[in-house]
Structure 1
């Protein structure tokens, strides 16, 4: 199986998406990156990130809407909303647990489709 390119997206690329990137950085099934939708994001989402991604996982629906509206000229990969509110610090244990549970469910569904 080829490694899946996953882009994790939150607003400022400060806590949620970098946590997800850190958790999965060494996972042999995946290549991961993270970015933010806000102009003040540490790593701002770009056309290059989107074209690289096989799958985009956003923390909130507003992130999906923003990507779709700003990059509507691209052929976008599937975008899945994880529904993780901005209530956590970087590497918060509860955040890690939520991300791992969500992503494993997604990966199992993808594997079952292949």
Structure 2
């Protein structure tokens, strides 16, 4: 999936798996990303798309932001 400026402007929270993803977003979107909460979940980006283990980890880590 590709992220566009519209996605950044729409989001209240932006979750990334690794700190390197956060850096890439900051580089690509500059000032638009500064107005958003970007949260690194510290999950290694070595899972396959829709991996059941990854989904469980994501649900657990993201839940605290919506409790």
TM-score by length of 2: 0.82
For structure 1, the residue ranges without an aligned partner over 5 or more in a row are: 1-42, 109-114
State the partner residue of 1:87: 46
The Cα of 1:49 is off from its aligned counterpart by 0.7
Question: Greater CA radius of gyration, 1 or 2?
Answer: 1
Name whichever structure is richer in strand by fraction.
1
| Runs of 4+ that moved beyond 4 A | none
For structure 2, the residue ranges without an aligned partner over 5 or more in a row are: none
* In 1, Cα distance between equivalents of 2:28 and 2:51: 30
Query: How much is the aligned-residue C-alpha RMSD, in angstroms?
Result: 1.4
TM-score by length of 1: 0.52
Larger RCO (alpha carbons 8 Å, 6+ apart): 2
